[in-house]
Copies of this chain bind each other. A is one copy, B any other.
Amino acid sequence: MCQLLGMNSAIPADVRFSLTGFAARGGLTDHHGDGFGVGFFEDKACRLFMDTQPASTSPVAELLKHYPIKSRNVIAHIRKATQGSSQRLENCHPFTRELWGRHWLFAHNGDLKNYAPALDGVCLPVGATDSERAFCEILQTLRASSQREPCTPEQTFETLCQVTQKIACHGVFNFLLSNGQTMFAHCSTRLWYLQRQWPFSNAQLVDSELSMDFALTNVANDKLCIIATQPLTRNECWQQLEAGQLLWIEDGELIQKVQLEVSEQVKFQNAANLACV
């Protein structure tokens, strides 16, 4: 399995603090050492940094810990390979494609079984992962609802609910998806959510000794949401999402949350996880 990190902010924000904790899980405090990727949106376009080396030791990850890239939407992923050769770049998340004149980013944590969607060629996978196939099916479905012009945000979310429900029948499908404006997050088994807003406080990373007092760096109107496979900080109010929840987040706010049906496979897996605790 893998780990996900997403950020959606009202104004461009620096995510180096969160990335530092997250990158440690790529081989240092956790075993997700099969490469990593981070995509930063700057308006409609995104910049993607990836490496097949573990995030805890990669020079690319090291650059990102020190180079401030401000962004309103970020998706990061550290990989523990389940499908697709681990050392191949084409299997590294996040994946990116263009739709309606914007870049889209997608990262997945999970495992889809017997999943071979009928892809018409407008968006085809480059690598061998179930994850990239799912991204292609999502974009193909969105494009089928409108070829050139973007759908309204409401239509986009409605279409995304339908295609997510369909794909989630195949197994565990925790994902983050963004077009630089909106962040969508779906939970099958494990995803946590945090909103940071005024009054800001001090936060202490789980995976490092580092702490940061956001009251010193943020102003009253700053507002952002962080979504992660596991909480990144010790002393903030993270909420665990429930299986089947799909979130629409924009400008650092939760706009809508819907409850989709949960497959028997996912129910079984969640029951097994609870039994292990």
Chain A residues with a Cβ under 8 A of chain B = 42-50, 59-60, 63, 66-67, 88-90, 92, 97-98, 100-103, 120-127, 143, 147-148
CA distance A125 to B44 in the complex (A): 10
Q: How many copies does the complex hold?
A: 2
Interface CB pairs A-B, < 8 A, 10: A43-B89, A45-B126, A59-B63, A59-B66, A60-B63, A98-B123, A101-B125, A103-B126, A121-B147, A124-B148
Distance to closest chain B CB from A156 (angstroms): 16
Distance to closest chain B CB from A115 (angstroms): 17
Which residues of the partner chain B approach A123 to less than 8 Å between Cβ atoms?
98
B63, B97, B126: the one within 8 Å of A102 (CB):
B126
CA distance A43 to B126 in the complex (A): 10
B67, B89, B122, B124: the one within 8 Å of A59 (CB):
B67
Distance to closest chain B CB from A205 (angstroms): 23
CB distance B88 to A42 under 8 Å?
A: yes
B101, B125, B148: the one within 8 Å of A126 (CB):
B101
Which residues of the partner chain B approach A92 to less than 8 Å between Cβ atoms?
45
CA distance A251 to B152 in the complex (A): 47
